Chains A and B, each alone.
Chain A
């Protein structure tokens, strides 16, 4: 009996629900059509890559693809991926637990520590880390301490973890806040110790959050170029970057991009296998009540606050402090700041909304009507996330000019491309939230004579609201930071904060870049603040 985690028992009781659902409801065709259309949009870049890939000459192709160096890069990539996932979980999970389940002082404000690192663009974070450290670095100038410079594997691991753990944190935090504590109560009443309750009851229920967040973070690491290049650690995306940028070549870069997508495909299959049979909705009657708060001793609270302070120091204080330092070195007239900020919001806002609207049917199908086709549709969204953004942008240049030239270089196209690229970020939180909504509630509503659509809007939507808001925030933050797609697809002369930052930092004009970097962080903080205030209700 001991080897049987309690979480599993919920699954077997849920399998009854599954059987009944299978016979009772067919996949709504309108929903399926909408989801298929979205998936098609995501697959366009793949089509483009295949189109370009067929133009390759076999001999050159062999030279570029069959290199032991690629294997080495692949090994580096996987090593980094694993490291970042483990380290991020080690930060995100305790943090999320402390902020939802303990009486830690200031815990409502400390949620910012978990979310705000997402507002720092990775390349800015990495640059700031480098500028802050070493002899003559900002830290030494301000405090006299000579900090070692991050570089290589550990540097990349550290920076990617610090600016990426929020993906996992958001998922854990959302799930932990929404968990029904009656299972834990039952486990406790059966005599399980707190640790056992965690491992056998809570941890299994955190799995969708872990997989969804881990998948995003993983794909983020797979595709990252900015951070690893600054840390001088070479991964697979390095090879793709070289091919596009050094060789001015689209054809072989397409091959490398396809290889990266195969890698992503493997990750998706793995995640799908892990997720199979996870069924976590409440099946009992009544509403979930608030969870029990764990009281911390003063020393436990002090230790926790100290560790959180350390994380905040590395992921927020160092980069923001460095940016502030740059700012003080130059009195910069920032007339373009307001316009760039407005443009950033004008692109990121609609992109986030559109991504959430497109993600809803996909996630809903995947959770409520599990079948190979709905799973396939849902997974397709992740391919858009894993497509190297430059390739995705070129695909949209190509297809829009071929079919709808009027759309080219309009805000509309930029918004669509961003939404499709970041669709995967929107799906995770929605999916996790849907897992927590019992299908019975919808069925009850329908039993009372409400149409499926109305049942969804009146019953399910309010319950997954938290997930929707997380999705919205994630896509918004990512769109705000995004560069390659914005560069190629935005209307000519459309200046955004991220573009400005890049334009200045690439010429080492850090002081000029600083106000724009702060602009991104400020907008993101306001957004995060709004989300968190809503959460508190």
Chain B
């Protein structure tokens, strides 16, 4: 029958494609599962391949999907490195025994944020901040502590947050650990009275601020930085060709509000990576070293506008100095952020999720 021929042809085609793809993976290579998106990771991977001659195979996805896949793969996982986009995910992965212990030399590289467990290394840091629309809000309108946020009744219905987003949930976990369950619950209930708008992502939320939908939003510092950088004709962008393109301001430039020093609303969070227990690949370690190298750290800072974890950089002018940012953030062990289920339960109880 005709269909059989087609089927056989298809199978052959698929087989050829498979073989041609697998033959690529013969030379020395590292397989990375990356929760960070290709837009950020690709330039770094290309540079690594050029500098070392080691090939990097990247599987992209969200932290959650890759983590679930790693669990399904178990001991058969082809992955060497899990590069994680959020503090909650990297801590969860470490806690559930996915990572192997890293050598001391590697753990010494970062100046800050190294976990006691030694199972993963931090790669960049970000801080929770408040974004505001400078046309309708003055910095002095905003409180010095995140616990005072519910008092902003004049912005009722014009406050944005991202309950499904990991950084927001990490912040709630920190709120619970610092101020206790009851205060955290009360804060959420009081915030709900402001009728906050829930966005699926920070990007979508800040776009809504641009469009005049909200005035105040709880977010991470670099989302605001990226918008400022975009408006200022690519002042902080890496490549020459990007600098040339003139961009016009899109609506309002967005302002950043910091709470008082030590306030949980200034929470620091990290991205990180670990080497999987199932990996026997020595090159994996070289890749992590590369990620912590001065060159890559500088690239991270200038393109993503997150903070480096290795000291001794000139940061873009719109960022606080790293020491100042750390001084402002609450003292909290990242391992405490692993109590994600408690946070989810609380968010469900109060009807935010």
Contacts and interface: CB of A to CB of B under 8 A. Distances in A.
Contacts of B351: 69
Contacts of B66: 488
Interface stretch (A186-194, A280-288, A297-305, A409-417): A409-417
B13 interface: yes
Contacts of A529: none
Given A331-B241, A487-B65, A401 B89 contact: no
B344 A246 contact: yes
Interface in B294-330: 304
A82 interface: no
Interface in A245-277: 245-248, 250
Among A408, A457, A488, the most chain B Cβ lie within 10 Å of the Cβ of A488
B64 A246 contact: yes
A136 B40 contact: no
A504 B211 contact: no
A401 B64 contact: no
A250 B302 CA distance: 36
A390 B64 CA distance: 10
Contact of A457 (B1, B42, B63, B73): B1
B7 interface: yes
A330 B61 contact: no
A444 interface: no
Interface string B341-353: 1001100100101
Contact of B57 (A357, A457, A493, A508): A493
Contacts of A250: 68, 71-72
The B contact surface, by secondary structure, is: helix
B245 A331 contact: yes
A390 B37 CA distance: 18
A245 B64 contact: yes
Contact of A69 (B2, B22, B76, B348): B348
Given A248-B64, A394-B72, A506-B203, A136 B245 contact: no
Interface residues of B, number: 79
A136 B71 contact: no
Interface residues of A, number: 71
B212 A134 contact: yes
B59 A492 contact: yes
A341 B303 CA distance: 26
Interface in B181-196: none
B201 interface: yes
Interface stretch (A7-15, A111-119, A199-207, A494-502): A494-502
Interface stretch (A86-94, A346-354, A434-442): A346-354
A136 B344 contact: no
Given A330-B242, A494-B21, A397 B64 contact: no
B37 to A, nearest CB: 4
Nearest to B239: A333
Given A230-B200, A248-B64, A410-B18, A136 B59 contact: no
B237 to A, nearest CB: 10
A137 B18 CA distance: 45
A248 B66 CA distance: 10
Contact of B38 (A350, A409, A504): A504
Given A357-B3, A409-B78, A494-B21, A390 B68 contact: yes
B59 A487 contact: yes
Interface stretch (B107-115, B141-149, B247-255, B279-287): B247-255
B14 A331 contact: no
B17 interface: yes
A528 interface: no
Nearest to B93: A248
Given A137-B211, A232-B197, A354-B10, A329 B245 contact: yes
B210 A401 contact: no
A134 B39 contact: no
Interface string A124-165: 000100110111110001000000010100000000000000
Contacts of B24: 493
Chain A binding surface, main DSSP class: helix
Interface string B67-97: 1110111101010000000001100100000
A401 B204 CA distance: 37
A390 B65 contact: yes
B199 interface: yes
A244 B64 contact: yes
Interface in A215-230: 229-230
Interface string A494-523: 110001101111111100100000000000
A232 B200 contact: yes
B164 A245 contact: yes
B166 interface: yes
Contacts of B210: 134-137
Contacts of A346: 17
Interface in B207-224: 207-208, 210-213, 223
A329 B63 CA distance: 30
8 contacts: A242-B344, A247-B341, A350-B14, A354-B10, A405-B76, A487-B61, A503-B38, A503-B42
Given A137-B211, A250-B72, A411-B17, 10 more contacts: A242-B353, A246-B166, A247-B341, A329-B245, A346-B17, A360-B3, A394-B72, A491-B18, A491-B22, A506-B39
Interface of B: 1-3, 6-7, 10, 13-15, 17-18, 21-22, 24-25, 31, 37-40, 42, 57-69, 71-74, 76, 78, 88-89, 92, 164, 166, 169, 197-201, 203-204, 207-208, 210-213, 223, 226-227, 241-242, 244-245, 247-248, 250-252, 304, 340-341, 344-345, 348, 351, 353
